Amino acid sequence: MKKLKFRFSYFILAGLLGFVLQIISFFSFANQNSKITSSSLTNAKSTTVFMKFITSSIILTIATAFIIIMVVGYLIGKKKENATGFNTVTIGLITSESVIFVTTLVYIIFSCIVRTKMFNSSSKNPDILKSLLLIRMIGMMLSYIFFSLFAYEILSAKKNSRIGKVGQIMIICVNFVAIILMVVTLVSSSSNKAFSMLTELYPISSFPPYDGTIPNINGFTLAQFRRLTFVFDECSYKNIDNAQIFTIGASIALISQIIYLLTIFVNIFAFLVQLIESFDIDRDENPMEI
């Protein structure tokens, strides 16, 4: 019987699974109905509502873990020659993805522990949750940066097929746009509501100026996307002053969510090509090499 060799390909399979789970995470929280409010989430008897709210984050945590495994595989499978830049970028990508993993996991655990008082203004719980979300957003920005650099290093470090080059260039371009949007979101948080619209829950029944929003780990979900599309009509209907603060913020947040999804689909395409190429028979002598 032929002995099965552990291949570098298995790490890419883990990463592809992680990207698919990211998509599932986005669509698993699809409807934000009137039952999901700060009071329903903190009600001791409303465990079902809370679990519906937090499930997408649990899936995202698992997804991030698989992506980290894939990137570790690239670190293990790298060629020894001219690997300094590749090492640095790969470690940076592992670190940024680990920031997303840890902050999301801590948010889940902490919110479960203090659920009935997680939004209590007399405690430090809301501030802790907001701090976790800020760190997570910074981790996402760093992930976009290092994914771009990672794709560039792949182009430089190995002989790519034409379609392989296309995949890596797509990663660089899409992540570059995501970096710009994330920088704008973080830097302009005082002049528009883009940051809060990606890190806070806007109750379905709320209207401008949207008082009573709460720290929300599910900023990149279909439910959040759908909710933000209502902002334009709500601002127009209410005819409030400084409506552009909300409409510009909603525009940036919606585009950020679209680009987030696009980066996932581009990653799936590019790493699927890498997976196919990794099974090249010429690589059988070194199955753990990129």
- Per DSSP, the chain holds a count of helices (H) and strands (E) of 10, 2
Residue 102 CB partners (closer than 8 Å, separation 6+): none
Please provide residue 201's backbone torsions phi and psi, each rounded to the nearest 5 degrees: -90, 120
pLDDT for position 220: 93
168: tokens are: 């890596």
Residue 41 CB partners (closer than 8 Å, separation 6+): 49, 50, 53, 115, 118, 119, 214
- Tell whether the model's pLDDT for residue 287 goes beyond 80: no
| Cα 88 from Cα 98, distance rounded (Å) | 15
- Tell whether the model's pLDDT for residue 174 goes beyond 90: yes
Give tens-digit pLDDT for 240-272.
777 888 899 999 999 999 999 999 999 999 999
pLDDT, averaged across the chain: 86
pLDDT for position 216: 85
Residue 279: count other Cβ atoms within 10 Å of its Cβ. Answer: 13
Share of the chain above pLDDT 70, in %: 89
51: tokens are: 């679990």
Confidence tier at 156 by pLDDT (50, 70, 90):
confident
Q: What is the mean pLDDT of residues 35-55?
A: 81
Residue 209 CB partners (closer than 8 Å, separation 6+): 240, 246
pLDDT for position 3: 47
Give tens-digit pLDDT for 75-109.
887 666 556 788 899 999 999 999 999 999 999 99
User: Which whole-number Å values give the CA distances from 284 to 10, 37, 101, 275, in the listed order?
Assistant: 14, 55, 34, 14
- Tell whether the model's pLDDT for residue 72 goes beyond 70: yes
pLDDT for position 236: 79
pLDDT for position 21: 97
